[in-house]
Amino acid sequence: MRDFSSDRQWLALNTVTVKSWSLEQAIDGCARAGITAIAPWRDIVQRCGVERAAKLLRASGLTITCLCRGGMFTAADEPGRRAAIDDNRRAIDEAAAIGAGSLILVVGGLPPGSKDLVGAHRQVRDGIAAVLPHARAAAVPLAIEPLHPMTAADRACVNTLAHANDLCEELGEGVGVAIDAYHVWWDPDLPRQVARSAGRILSYHVCDWLVPTRDLVFDRGMPGDGIIDLPRLRGLVEDAGYAGHCDVEILSAENWWKRDPDEVVRICIERHQSVV
């Protein structure tokens, strides 16, 4: 494994970890902390203005690991699905404008009122296929992120790396996977599926699973505060040839989002060196 502890060049700050910061503040915060890579979310890029964001990010010298996030392809009707496809084309344009390494796809759950999981899977596949030519033309790889199965109903109905790998193989060039330790750590099939992802791992995210977990979405832990064997997972990912950044992405309404973002960044750096 690479020696992360020797420097912080492989650490990327996912901006949701410092949710109260604007893009400008996040760029400045990275500079203050000596962080050289960032993974912005679309809301703060849009609030900044995409052109201005692109200019600021270019000037900062930061690597843009990925843009979070496109997806949400599932909808109750055809106009809804078309709107999602249009929005994903815009997300691809934004990712191209800021020079992001990939666009993360959180694919969407069951449409409101639906119990048709197989149909939702089909909508996701069709949605990605519909935007893929645009992504290829813009040279923006699409990173399918399998989310934890507890999000299957309302956020993402692709819940295993196996399913994401199947989609990549069906859809072909321009589609890969984002592996987030939080979403996949429990999977007994993980070693086999990470190996199968070789050559298409576009993004690697870390946080930690807390015991107990008090909320299905907003109670993720700082690396080291939970029970995920992060070095094991990093070993799997690196054995599969991944040599990119490690994005620290923590959704934490009751803890980390309430703290001073500079303190949060400092602790991210410490933990990245000691436990990731």
Residues forming the site for its own copies (CB under 8 A): 110, 114-117, 121, 148-150, 152-154, 157, 159-160, 162-163, 185-189, 209, 211-213, 216, 226-229
DSSP 41: B
Q: Check: CB of residue 245 under 8 Å from CB of residue 256.
A: no
Residue 31 vs 217, nearer CB to its own copies: 217
Length of the chain: 276
As measured in angstroms, the least distance from the Cβ of 193 to its own copies is 12
Nearest to 7 by CA among 28, 37, 40, 29: 37
Q: Check: CB of residue 186 under 8 Å from CB of residue 146.
A: no
Could you tell me the maximum CA-CA distance found in the chain, to the nearest angstrom? 52
Residue 51 vs 170, nearer CB to its own copies: 170
Residue 56 vs 171, nearer CB to its own copies: 171
Residue 116 vs 260, nearer CB to its own copies: 116
Residue 218 vs 257, nearer CB to its own copies: 218
**CB under 8 A, 24+ apart: contacts of 124-128:** 124/73, 124/74, 124/157, 124/158, 124/167, 125/167, 125/170, 125/171, 126/73, 126/81, 127/73, 127/74, 127/81, 127/84, 127/85, 127/88, 128/73, 128/167, 128/171, 128/175
Nearest to 196 by CA among 247, 140, 151, 242: 242
Residue 65 vs 165, nearer CB to its own copies: 165
Residue 19 vs 148, nearer CB to its own copies: 148
Q: Check: CB of residue 258 under 8 Å from CB of residue 11.
A: no
As measured in angstroms, the least distance from the Cβ of 114 to its own copies is 7
Distance CA 133, CA 256 (A): 39
Instruction: Give the C-alpha distances (Å, rounded to integers) separating 215 from 90, 205, 209, 228.
Output: 31, 19, 11, 17
